[in-house]
Structure 1
Amino acid sequence: MMDYFNSIEPPTNESPYELLLRAALLIPLSHYLLGLCLIFIVFLYNFLEIHFLQDFFTGFKGQPVTLTFNSSSKLYHDVVSKCRVLHGRYLSTPWLCSPHLQTVFVHYFGNPPVVNYTRQLFTTSDGGTIALDWVINAEDKQTAIQGNDAMQHNDRCPIIIIVPGLTSASDSAYVKHLAFKMAERGCNVAVSNHRGLGGVSVTSDRFYTAAWTDDIRSVIEHIHCQYPEAPLFAVGTSVGANILVKYLGEDGHNVPIIGAAAICSPWDSLICDRFFRRRLLQRCYNKVLTSGLKDYANLHKDVLSRISNWEGVQEARSCRDFDDVATRVLANCETVDTYYRQCSSANYVGGVMVPLLCISSLDDPICTSEAIPWDECRLNKNVVLATTQHGGHLPFFEGLTAKSVWWVRAVDEFFTALKSSPLSHQRKEVQMPVLSSANPQETSIDKAAFLNVTKDGNSCCSSRTP
């Protein structure tokens, strides 16, 4: 027994920390590197909100679409109940299993189909110019170039009017996905580019804002008067969705369209503004959107510098900064918060009197789900809200190749069911606004030069760069 105790080494004078360090040094460096890699992967997985494991453990079946509607809604019972896409599941493209990956992909790549347009310049009552880009088929290109006779005034073919997002135009990938699908269905498709976008200069002191609905109102009424027998549908995306819903809520029954769809609307600009300042990734999106707004401003410096704080525009570091020095001034609002309250379409959902399908993603990194007007949508019998767990801001890519967009299929099915339903309402006759004398211009849009429209209605080409 004494030999046993004598064999035990006497305690050292090393502290517990020194012993811990000695033990740590015994672990191979490769194990540390592996541990760091695992920690980084876990961090990146959560930071980018990747949901691959969730999809994997659910057998890649996707998550069910949630529908919010009034229980006595004829829109749901007569139309939406027949839409299989809206009653199915949405599964994102496996290698785009993150709202951020999807959002970046759609804005910088997007896998858009080839779409050809013929351009019509529309002049508003205040002298502003809007580019209406009509989708044409390759075999109809020569006919379309000859003018509006390519579409007959008594044509009963449905017309889809697309309102793009903040600084988007007819060349944006998600717009092309929708335009191609609707044209493939046999509809006539017109993209209503915002003032100063789509390669057209600003020809008045009026710029478009998220609160400005006169432009889309004039465009819709003009197209209705040109083709009174054609069923009209409208689709708004992002800020374009906000403008469309606000217009529908303002005019109620007095709109000449059969139905509409609002995709990824911001709904409440005050809430979205706070959301933008909350997390690192949202602040990155804020920077990117601000850069786009400043590029838009630089294109029209001659006009904007006269009616806004140009120095403030150049120094703007966020969307709120830009809106404070430019947008609220253009909208005649005293403060930027006043402008945000004025332009928020959530306040107008209750006034919508035509069938409206709203689609939003709960993981939208730009237009937060916190702004969705759930109760307003539930109270209005003319509105059905479809939400998905995933999808990002506008992409909703599906399939291994990411060439299909889920919400495009949903809108297509919704309009098809609506057109054949008894909900098609009598449209009110409206007065046609003033048109420009310019003829439609066939262009690939992507390669089009910047189109400068002079006061006499003539146009000339110049570089897109400011």
Structure 2
Amino acid sequence: MTPFEPIPSARNPHLQTIMPRLMRRQPVISPLWQQLDLPDGDFVDLAWTQTPQPGQPIVTLFHGLAGSFHNPYANGLLAAFQRQGWCGVVMHFRSCSGRLNRVPRTYHSGETQDARYFLTTLRMRYPQHPIHAVGVSLGGNMLVRYLAEYADDPIVSSGCAVSPPLDLAACSLRIQQGFSRVYQAYLLRSMRQTLSDKLTRHAQVGRWQAGEQPRISTLFEFDQTVTAPLHGFEDAHHYYQQCSGLSVLPAIRAPLTIIHAKDDPFMTDAVIPTTPLPANIRYQLTDHGGHVGFVTGHWRAPRLWLEEAVPAWIAEQLDT
């Protein structure tokens, strides 16, 4: 994995964070869509690069908050996996694929049950295929929690977590400050709309009743009134305490690489591990890169470094 070097005149963290969306306004591949039915009667949607060929490595991707295949990092990474000769697939968290799910339950940074069912299904259907996993932002923290929870049988041979909010409480406060509030507002627009749509189908979602117009102005308020009550937590603070990934890193046994940028506008230094990590975890902290940005090259030919670095890590694991 080569070190990240930003475009010299584009070191600003907000520029790094926003540039991928300016560079890539349309997905670079057309996926194959598949619905995976879940044990509770609900479903998740999968976006595949192709049908897996015999023995072909499968790389799964777990997206970020309110994300989907259409995010530049998601379809870009899938295309990068395809160029390596691998099969890529995005597992969309509930109600993130463009289709509203059947039950009030949704997803969060520590919700590993849907990922477990999905990966178990992959192992059953494709027993001869190596399986690796990548998690981005919220999906990265979820992947960390998953690898710790299922340390004895993770199914995946390795993991990569990009810009994971490993201290959820600190990140919830950070995104309410300065220019980062712009990102919060962007995320909340989608999340409030999904909540409103759910309230047309269900009598109650979290603390909100059908017919109410949710007034939520921060991610903390969303977690306090939706995420926490919907998933059995006492409140947002309890959710953050129980689901942050930082404290469970020592429990992980699978090879894992974590990529953080010091200037990530969604994070604080609280997400950076301060105690020695086990030998199976590689931690890469860059000075620049923003949040899931990492734009390198030069202005005439910018490149998304993650599309080089993440496949390089997986290829290294496939060779061991």
**TM-score between both structures, scaled by the size of structure 1:** 0.65
Cα distance in 2 for partners of 1:294, 1:369 equals 29
Cα distance in 2 for partners of 1:419, 1:337 equals 39
What residue number does 1:373 align with?
273
Letter in 2 for 1:282: S
SS in 2 for 1:386: strand
RMSD, aligned α-carbons: 1.9
Of residues 375, 383, 387, the one that matches 2:285 is 387
Classify 1:332/1:313 alpha carbon distance in 2 versus 1 (closer, same or farther; 3 Å): farther
Alignment partner of 1:325 is 2:239: no
Letter in 2 for 1:256: I
Q: How does 1:1-16 map to 2 (within 5 A)?
A: none
**TM-score between both structures, scaled by the size of structure 2:** 0.93
Alpha-carbon contact 2:151-2:253 (below 8 Å) kept: yes
SS in 2 for 1:270: helix
What residue number does 1:190 align with?
89
Alpha-carbon contact 2:59-2:89 (below 8 Å) kept: yes
Q: Alpha-carbon deviations, 1:114-167, whole Å to 9, x = none?
A: 21111110011111210011013xxxxxxxxxxxxx435xx2110000000001
SS in 2 for 1:288: helix
Of residues 18, 29, 43, the one that matches 1:104 is 18
Cα distance in 2 for partners of 1:362, 1:280 equals 17
Of residues 210, 223, 242, the one that matches 2:109 is 210
Q: How does 1:428-447 map to 2 (within 5 A)?
A: none
Cα distance in 2 for partners of 1:389, 1:304 equals 46
What residue number does 1:460 align with?
none
Alpha-carbon contact 1:129-1:200 (below 8 Å) kept: no
Letter in 2 for 1:300: K
What residue number does 1:151 align with?
52
Alpha-carbon contact 2:20-2:293 (below 8 Å) kept: yes
Classify 1:292/1:274 alpha carbon distance in 2 versus 1 (closer, same or farther; 3 Å): same
User: 5+ residue gaps in structure 1?
Assistant: 1-82, 137-149, 422-466
Letter in 1 for 2:214: Q
Cα distance in 1 for partners of 2:12, 2:301 equals 13
Superposition deviation, residue 286 in structure 1: 2.6
Alignment partner of 1:118 is 2:32: yes
Percent identity over the alignment is 26
SS in 2 for 1:235: strand
User: 5+ residue gaps in structure 2?
Assistant: none
Letter in 2 for 1:329: P
Cα distance in 2 for partners of 1:301, 1:110 equals 33
Q: How does 1:291-440 map to 2 (within 5 A)?
A: 291-303=189-201, 306-310=204-208, 314-375=214-275, 378-400=276-298, 401=300, 403-421=302-320
Alignment partner of 1:256 is 2:155: yes
Letter in 2 for 1:391: G
Q: Alpha-carbon deviations, 1:154-208, whole Å to 9, x = none?
A: x211000000000110111111111111101100011101111112221123211
Range with bigger deviation, 333-342 or 99-108: 99-108
Larger Cα-atom Rg: 1
Cα distance in 2 for partners of 1:159, 1:116 equals 17
Classify 1:290/1:205 alpha carbon distance in 2 versus 1 (closer, same or farther; 3 Å): closer
Aligned length: 317
Of Structure 1 and Structure 2, the greater helix share is in 1
What residue number does 2:185 align with?
287
Letter in 2 for 1:386: Q
